[in-house]
Amino acid sequence: MATITAPRPRSGSRAALTTEIWHRMPVETWVLGCAVLLWIGLSIASPYFLTSGNIFNIMRQVSIDAIVAYGELFTIITAGIDLSVGSVLGFTGVAFAMLLANGASLVIAAPLTLVLGLAIGIVNGFAVDRLGIPAFIVTLAGLQGYRGLTMLVSGGMTVAGLPDSLGNFANSSIFGIPTMFVVMLAFAAASQFLLGATRLGRYMYALGSNIEAARRVGVNVTRVTLAAYGLASLFAAVGGMLLVARLTMGNPNAGMGAELQAIAAAVVGGASLFGGRGTIGGCFIGAILFTTIGNGANLLGVNPFWQMVIEGLLIAGVVYLDNVQKRRAQGQ
């Protein structure tokens, strides 16, 4: 007697399709969906959200947040971390403002500030690679130390008397797009090129995936580590200068918490804290999401402490989702 095999229920096929989509859809796609839903919800909840003034405000703020996050991403890809970028942003920003307030021209002040930021990052990278100190400890010390230096050199006071050209730059536009946002896009393009089309970028991913294997195939681990941490502090210095331009003053308290915001943007955007994974596009999506949350909370009068709770839950949720996807993909 022939055995008759019953057809699979359609629900099973749908479940299989759903599982396949779950496995393949990148985390940053889910985050982008959250950002879109947030924009829709805020446009309904507040009549001021979709105004041109507020959109420009978001674009200018995310320009600073995203550039700092791009720099942070370089260290995360190499399985490191930089907790000092917020303090470096504040320190280099105050140094930039003091140079300008004491008569230095932009042509002199800007390069000197960039060199300062790069030097700080190279020192961090040297301590991590050559001295063998964990990146967490090195940059945690920098978080405290550079914040203290900022207070010392500024006397804890804001630095005023800056040229009007700074404010004009921060408020200017190119073809209707805020100039600061254009600068951020330029940094995004350069960073993407570095990670995706250069040997240095490939080596950064190699270090994060398996540092010993990278060393065996001839990767100069010291050079790549110095580059990653140097770029992180360099990008923080750029963020510091842009913030000074936006505020038209040097604020010694600027950048407090920026390191957590940068790490959160990278992780929510799909980067792994274990290294070897992360994209500039995902980092930008993460920065957009957190900037929008902050902007929306201000417009709706939400308690800032609740904003911190929401951001923390979001980070935990995205990391959990990423881990679930990886376990299911591995059949665990």
pLDDT of residue 291: 92
Cα 80 from chain centroid (whole Å): 14
pLDDT of residue 51: 92
* 224 in a structural domain: yes
pLDDT of residue 316: 81
Total domains in the chain come to: 1
Query: How many residues are listed for the chain in this entry?
Result: 332
Q: What six digits make up the tokens of 75?
A: 């260290």
Structural Rg of the chain based on CA atoms: 22
pLDDT of residue 11: 47
* 134 in a structural domain: yes
* 40 in a structural domain: no
* 327 in a structural domain: no
Domain coverage including residue 266: 57-319
Block mean pLDDT (10 aa), the chain, length 332 = 47 55 66 89 92 93 96 96 96 96 93 97 96 94 95 92 90 93 97 95 94 92 96 97 94 90 89 89 92 90 83 77 64 56
87 class by beta-carbon count within 10 Å (0-12 exposed, 13-18 middle, 19+ buried): buried
Tell me 156's DSSP state.
T
* 82 in a structural domain: yes
Please state at what angle helix 221-247 crosses helix 179-197, rounded to 10 degrees: 170
* 13 in a structural domain: no
Q: What six digits make up the tokens of 65?
A: 């947040």
- Gap between the Cα atoms of 206 and 28, Å rounded: 22
Question: What's the CATH number where 97 sits?
Answer: 1.10.3470
CB 266 within 8 A of CB 244: no
What's the pTM?
0.89
pLDDT of residue 305: 81
CB 230 within 8 A of CB 297: no
* 165 in a structural domain: yes
pLDDT of residue 328: 62
pLDDT of residue 309: 86
Tell me 159's DSSP state.
B
Amino acid type, 111: P
pLDDT of residue 21: 55
Give residue-wise pLDDT tens across range 142-190.
999 999 999 999 998 999 989 989 989 999 999 999 999 999 999 999 9
pLDDT of residue 16: 54
pLDDT of residue 18: 53
* 7 in a structural domain: no
pLDDT of residue 148: 95
